[in-house]
Structure 1
Amino acid sequence: MAPLWSKLLLLSFLQCVISDDVSRESEFIWDVNGYVIFCPCMGRFGNQADHYLGGLAFAKSLNRTLILPPWRTYKNVPFDEWFKVEQIRKYHRVILADDFMKYLAPKYWPVGKRIGWCWLPSNTKETCKMKEGNPFGPFWDGLGVDFDEYMIYQISFHDTELWRWGKLYPPADHPVMAFKGAPARFPIQEHHVHLQQYLEWSDAIEGEAQQYVDDTFHGEPYVGIHLRNGGDWVNACAHVEGGTKYMASPQCMGYQNTEPLTKEICYPSEETILRQVKNAVLKTNAKHIFVATDKNPMIKELEQHLKEQKVKVHHLDPWLPLIDLAILGKSDHFIGNCVSSFTAFVKRHRDVHDLPSSFWSRS
């Protein structure tokens, strides 16, 4: 039998937990304008980020609070583990998904009244498969959500149709819109690019990246480069020739582009990479090159090509690819891949902070 003092300590601890929960609950007031949540379930981080910013714009256009969904890797990663919530709130109302599920959902979006929203053609016999497959099932399971019924819609997320959402689905009748995928287009629309300014790294990500920069470059200038040269990228670039748009290509080709894409833009040759890096090094007087890549960092090739400049080449291969993004974002010049959404995240970050960037085979 436990002594009296241990029971008193346990009781005191439980009272503190309950008191803290009650205090936190009072922070959250139901928004009568409604809510939007979605699964960021298309691809890896770069694609998810495009969809996240589009989803944020969609929620604002409908004047609904955005329930900040977790990022999706092999697990759900809470939004605030990677980015600051307070920065997003400078643009629009948001609430973390975990907070919504804990403090508001039990009362306002209870079990038995949870509707999943799916786009399906009007003539189809298919049903809404909100949780079928990975990452859809694990994503919603991670939030403890099962759907009781489904809402099928045919209207798009294009600006010209945004007015229809509020007219057809008023928040009084549809308080929570839980979408199977992001209510946004890919790649990000041109007029949403500026929303990157509201994605500010969490203290943990920023701190780790800055520590690496301080310890590695010692205040000296460095050029950051992103190389996509894995086998999957070889296959992806095999289909790029002749088209005018491919994945994230509008970031460097323009949104109204009519110029044909080339394989060299998508998968630059070693000669192109060495030439452009050397030009950037000479222009910035850089003493270091930082390489982020999914395969071959080309360390020996770069060091040999730049031996007269006595430049050091660094490749971190961090436990979390976002550390690469944060380091690239701090470089004195950045060279990225026109077609890659991973590059696109860095490019948008640098644009809103007025930092120079260029693309392989585009300078």
Structure 2
Amino acid sequence: MEVAMEDVLTQLTRQFLPQMTAAEKSRALRSLKALIDAELFELAASEGAEDDPDRACPWCGSPHYVKRGRDGRGRQRFLCRGCARTFTDATMRIFSTTKLDRSARMRFAECHVDMLPLRESAEKCGVCLKTAFFMRHRLLEAMAKRMPAFRVEAGGGAELDECFFRERFKGNRSRSESGMPRKPRTRSQGTDGHEKICVLTGINDAGDIFYEIAGRGGLDEAAARELLADKLAVGAIISTDRAHVYRRVLPALGVGAHIASKREEHAINRVNSLHSQMRHFIGRFRGVSTRRLENYLAWFKWTWCFKVRRSADELAELIVRQAARGTYEKTWRQYKVTPYPFYEYWIKQAKWDSRARRAIYGVA
């Protein structure tokens, strides 16, 4: 009679656990959990790696390569025909340079699915806050590259509208090289229209969404034309509100029909619902720094695209698979000195605003 290995493991666990003290049980279960997490990580990270259709040289990007033996860890090595350098599937990958063990990486993926705060994620994974921050943004960078493209073909429909977020300078300003160029405000205080960041969003008939950070204040014609040019095919049917910018841009892009509706007509309810969910998602982090907003919007789009009909465990494994194949571009130093977008406004303000002048130039 054949006995499955998982049944043997279950029987052994049930046999020996009652014989242990409470402290021994706690240590044993933690060790077993770490072992299971490590194996789950290894399975998820290695799934489909041997026949990855998107494999390319991480040094020059060439898709032309041949096999060149194996490295010291037994991983397949490849020789690039373009730059003559060797690489493996782990070269310049997100997990290739980290010193964390596999169980910690799997736990962090689970924390990412649960959208836990950075401090709580750091505590669960046994890392410092800086490492948790860097791991989160590297994951977001990899996830952003796996998003499906948004496109509205001829005869297809879509709804477009803008969503606005307050400009935020969230972060540890005591360690920042420059201060904040305006006075701090409470959430109940209003903000000038120029201190809001415009995000152009859309949703098509298939339920695909897109977001593009368009600029400061209202949406202007040049930004709308640039952001929509590769998303709308000639003959597409587009619904918007009655903003003048759409009336000028959409006919120039060759859309088949432009339906401009008043707010009370509820013609763009789907994109308005998208805005509501987007604000709720960003709000759970108690505000997001403007220079990190694009990464968090990518996180929102990832949850929109992949969370349907998947359990938390499946999502964690999906994150590991995507991250294991994902490459990174920004280093920790680059994340630290990431500039705030659309900062030209504050440079102009510095001419007559002493606080902005002190933040930018260091003198009042």
Tell whether the structures are fold-level matches, with TM greater than 0.5. no
The structure number with the bigger radius of gyration is 2
Given the two structures, how large is their TM-score scaled by the length of structure 1?
0.28
Given the two structures, how large is their TM-score scaled by the length of structure 2?
0.28
